[in-house]
Homo-oligomer: A and B are copies of this chain.
Amino acid sequence: MCRWLAYSGSPLLLDTILYKPAHSLIDQSLHSRLGVETTNGDGFGVGWYTPDAEDGTPAVVRDVGPAWNNRNLREIAGHVSSPLFFAHIRASTGTAVQQTNSHPFRHGRWMWMHNGAIAGFPVIRRDLCLAVDPTLFTSIEGSTDSEVMFYLALTFGLRDDPPQAVARMAGFVERTAREHGVAHPLQMTVATTDGAAVWAFRYASEGTARSLFYSSRIQALQALHPDVAFLRDLSEETRLVVSEPLGELPGAWNEVPEHSYGVVRHGADELHPFAPVP
C-alpha cells in the first residue's frame, strides 16, 4: 500500500506541503498512522505542473529509495513552486522496486496515482493488459496493478470523462477477477489530473476502503484560525486531497465518504457517489 497527496491552489513551494506539516507525507513515509503498513519506503514520486513547460506536461520525478532520506527530493521541494502537484510514497506489495513502478504515472498531460491493490493481480494481469488499447499497450513500462489501472482508464476514455472511465475500469477489473474466482478484488484510492482539475476516488469492492481526506474550504479555515499565518496566503480555490491528514488543525480535514469521488477545479468543487460500471 501507499500514501499520497494532491494539491491544487495558490502556487506553493512543494516543501510547504511535503515537508513542513507536522505529519507530512515525508513523516508518513516512516510513520504512517492510517496506512496498512507504517513504513512506505519502496520508492516515491512527485509530479508538478509549471508554466515553464512548453507542452503543458507535468514534470514527474520518481526514484526507488525511501522519500525520508532523499536529498534530491528535498532540493526540488525547496526550490520548485507549483499550483498543482501530486506526491506519492510507495510500500510495495511484492512487485519490483523500480522507477517505472513508482507513482505518479504520466501519459501526455495526465497523471495518475493509486493506493490500494487488485487482489489476485498476478492471475488476471494478462487479461487486464489485453484489454488495454493496443496503441497504448507499449507505453506500459512497469509491472504494477496501478499502472495497468491507469492504462485501462485511458482506454475507457479517461481524457474525455474521467469519472465514467474510472467506473468502467473498476467494473472491468471486478468482472475479470470474478471470472478468475476473486470475488472482491478492488481496493483503491486514486487521483488523476490533466493539470486543470483533479479527480479523486475512494472505493473498495468489499469492506472499508483505504482512508482518504480532503481539506476544508480555505475561507472557513481562515475564519476558524485567524492566527495561522500559513492560511492567510492561500487563495479560496486551494484544496488538498490526502491519504491521511497532515496535522491536527481542528476543522481542517474531512473524510471522503466511501464509494464516492470528488472533483477539484476552478469554481465550486464537487463530491459524488461512485460505483463501478459493470
Contacts of A62 in B (CB 8 A): 71-72
Known: A52-B80, A59-B78, A125-B138. A72 touches B72 (CB 8 A): yes
Q: Is the CB of A61 within 8 A of B75?
A: yes
The reply to whether the CB of A60 lies closer than 8 angstroms to some CB of chain B is yes
With beta carbons under 8 angstroms apart, the residue of B13, B76, B92, B95 that contacts A54 is B13
- State the Cβ distance, A122 to closest chain B Cβ, in Å: 4
The reply to whether the CB of A134 lies closer than 8 angstroms to some CB of chain B is yes
Q: Write out, one digit per residue, whether chain A residues 38-74 have a CB within 8 A of any chain B CB (1) or not (0).
A: 1101100000101011100111111111101101100
CA distance in complex: A52, B52 (Å) = 13
CA distance in complex: A85, B38 (Å) = 30
Q: Is the CB of B98 within 8 A of A100?
A: yes
Q: Is the CB of A71 within 8 A of B59?
A: no
Q: Quickly give the copy total for this chain.
A: 4
Contacts of A52 in B (CB 8 A): 13, 79-81
Q: Is the CB of A76 within 8 A of B59?
A: yes
The reply to whether the CB of A137 lies closer than 8 angstroms to some CB of chain B is yes
- Cβ-closest chain B residue relative to A106: B75
Known: A54-B13, A79-B59. A65 touches B143 (CB 8 A): no
The reply to whether the CB of A129 lies closer than 8 angstroms to some CB of chain B is yes
- Cβ-closest chain B residue relative to A72: B61
Contacts of A39 in B (CB 8 A): 30, 39, 41
The reply to whether the CB of A228 lies closer than 8 angstroms to some CB of chain B is no
The reply to whether the CB of A97 lies closer than 8 angstroms to some CB of chain B is yes
CA distance in complex: A115, B65 (Å) = 22
Contacts of A236 in B (CB 8 A): none
Within 8 A of B (CB), among A76-126: 76, 78-81, 92, 95-100, 122-123, 125-126
Q: A39-B39, A41-B69, A65-B97 known; 16 other A-B pairs, CB under 8 Å? A: A30-B39, A41-B68, A48-B79, A52-B80, A52-B81, A53-B78, A57-B79, A58-B79, A59-B76, A59-B79, A61-B72, A62-B71, A65-B65, A98-B98, A100-B143, A140-B143
The list of the 3 closest CB pairs from A to B, nearest first, reads A59-B79, A98-B98, A126-B137
Interface CB pairs A-B, < 8 A, 8: A57-B79, A59-B79, A60-B75, A61-B75, A64-B65, A71-B96, A122-B138, A126-B134
